[in-house]
Chain A
């Protein structure tokens, strides 16, 4: 079956559909977003493990 599709009309129809998610919903997601982990010093964990290793080797 051949369908005569009006491309521009279909595009306009899609563009005018109501959006599924409100901006208020987005605001709530942003508000409830988990806080980012604080990475103050990327080397800290490395030096702590070195220190532990040094302490254990001394004992």
Chain B
């Protein structure tokens, strides 16, 4: 393997980052479904964190900082988009490309739609713990709260998700119908 020459802070950053690499990429992947590529999101967030690595003395706060950067990038990107619909062909195509079974891809697409209806904190907790695979302690650090509070948040979020998943065959709102028509037209 090629030996990579790095500055001490870059090496320290990589040492800190390596254990959270897989869950972090999964989190970015779940956040970037209908906006930008996972690779672009991971790269942008990593380089922004790297540039602030030396300035942040308390490394315990670094993970929270990095997740905050990801959320802000997504927020800014979605703001720039002219139209946001819950029905999204692009998102479905992204999921289908990752999951080979079309039935599971459809389940996941529907599950993501339900996750989007949760409160922002509950949504983040579900994405971090259930999908990305961060530990409860890490989620509590990211959300700057106690482990017990995260457990409660997750319990309520799962309960709400079960309710949302069970609630089907309902009449779609005008905005949802408009989103479907627009996705078919353009």
Q: Which positions in A face B, CB cutoff 8 Å?
A: 1-3, 5-7, 10-11, 13-15, 17, 19-21, 23-24, 26-31, 33, 36
For this complex, 27 residue pairs linking A to B, each with C-beta atoms less than 8 Å apart, are A5-B111, A6-B107, A10-B104, A10-B107, A10-B108, A11-B131, A13-B99, A13-B104, A14-B131, A15-B131, A15-B132, A15-B133, A17-B26, A17-B29, A17-B99, A19-B21, A19-B29, A21-B25, A23-B18, A26-B14, A26-B42, A26-B46, A28-B4, A30-B46, A31-B10, A33-B10, A33-B47
CA distance A27 to B43 in the complex (A): 11
CA distance A17 to B1 in the complex (A): 26
Decide yes or no: A30 and B50 within 8 Å by CB, A7-B161, A7-B165, A21-B25 being known contacts. yes
> Per-residue CB proximity of B126-164 to A under 8 Å, as 1/0?
000011110000000000000000000000001001100
Q: How many residues of B contact A (CB 8 A)?
A: 41
Secondary structure dominating the interface of A: helix
Secondary structure dominating the interface of B: helix
> Per-residue CB proximity of B73-85 to A under 8 Å, as 1/0?
0000000000000
